[in-house]
Amino acid sequence: MGLLERLRKEWFILGIVLVIAVARLEPGVGVKGGPLKPEITITYIAVSAIFFNSGLSLKTEELTSALMHVKLHLFVQIFTLVFFPTAIWVFLQLLSITPINEWLLKGLQTVGCMPPPVSSAVILTKAVGGNEAAAIFNSAFGSFLGIVITPLLLLLFLGSSSSVPFTSIFSQLFMTVVVPLIIGQIVRRYIKDWLERKKPPFGAISSCVLLMIIYTTFCDTFANPNIDLDKFSLIIIVFIIFSVQMSFMFLTFLFSTRNNSTFTPADTVAIVFCSTHKSLTLGIPMLKIVFSGYEHLSLISVPLLIYHPAQILLGSLLVPTIKSWMVSRQKALKLTRQPKAPVKV
């Protein structure tokens, strides 16, 4: 039973492995121009479905409670969308002289440009008992910002503007991301009670569509005989990803727990997860749009595909430790705030 429960929880990660394996065996099915017609079904229908689903599931009313915590929001968004991609870019200047596959290195840069995820950071913050409202707000707000900022960052750091028209990227993003998201929010207003009562599996639906996108992306790779991925580069990239995550989690923890910091222990938990996690749900469709036509698109996608399970794995392992720290810290703060008993003379 324990194994079945674990498989149920990790089905998406297993799904990624499975669709890549199927793409390796039969790349002709999902290749561009193949029977699945991914240039239409994936580029437009699947991506639109993901963001309509996000709009439908996003509880806008829950965000208002966290709206006024401006300092926390600024910290998370600046770290995620400014510090993170810049630090990765500096780091990659050093790695560029190594024999690591250049497309995997470009993929690392795309990870840095991604906004926070709507799910994993919130789930882990809730598991610890941290500031869940702040996690929800920053994940949702970061995703909205990411629609505009992430393509700009990708164009800035990777310079794909020379081969992909800037206006075409944003028009496609608007039609397949922004419009479905808004329509989803409008529809939610009318069927909110039904949604609350039935609780449709929004996460599972988005994940299934995402697996289709990953499958067709890798079909293009395996159908191209000129692409070769060496195991050395892949192992190094996995090591770098875990190192980056651990370093940035430690960094955000240090910054948010300084003596002059006004953040509560519950705030720190939300900051650590929201600042260091990156969205696969928004990331893969965006890469598909921004790098449309790139023969190395799947190699660029690999670091993000590794980063997603790595952040869930690391976060899950750290939940007991972070929870223990938060509880003891909260107790210590309560004791310091208690008025001292008057001394009897």
pLDDT (tens digit, 9 = 90+) per residue, 119-170? 678 778 888 888 877 887 887 788 778 878 888 888 888 765 445 455 666 6
Output the domain CATH number for residue 161.
1.20.1530.20
Residue 28 maps to a domain: yes
Residue 19 belongs to some domain of the structure: yes
pLDDT class of 8 with cuts at 50, 70, 90:
low
Q: Is residue 311 part of a domain?
A: yes
Residues 6+ apart with CB under 8 A from 152: none
User: How many other C-beta atoms lie within 10 A of the C-beta of residue 65?
Assistant: 13
Tokens representing 177 are 């991301």
The verdict on residue 342 lying in a domain is: no
Q: What percent of the chain has pLDDT over 90?
A: 17
Torsion of CA 326, 330, 331, 337, to 10 degrees: 160
Q: Is the pLDDT of residue 5 over 60?
A: no
The total of other beta-carbon atoms located within 10 Å of residue 150's CB is 25
- Would you state the pLDDT for residue 76? 92
Asked if residue 283 is part of any domain, the answer here is yes
Q: What's the total number of domains in the chain? A: 1
Report yes or no on 218 lying in a domain.
yes
**pLDDT for residue 219:** 81
Whether residue 283 contacts residue 89, with contact meaning beta carbons closer than 8 Å, is answered with no
Q: What is the DSSP letter of 100?
A: S
Domain that holds residue 152: 3-328
344 located within any domain: no
Please report whether residue 345 resides in a domain.
Answer: no
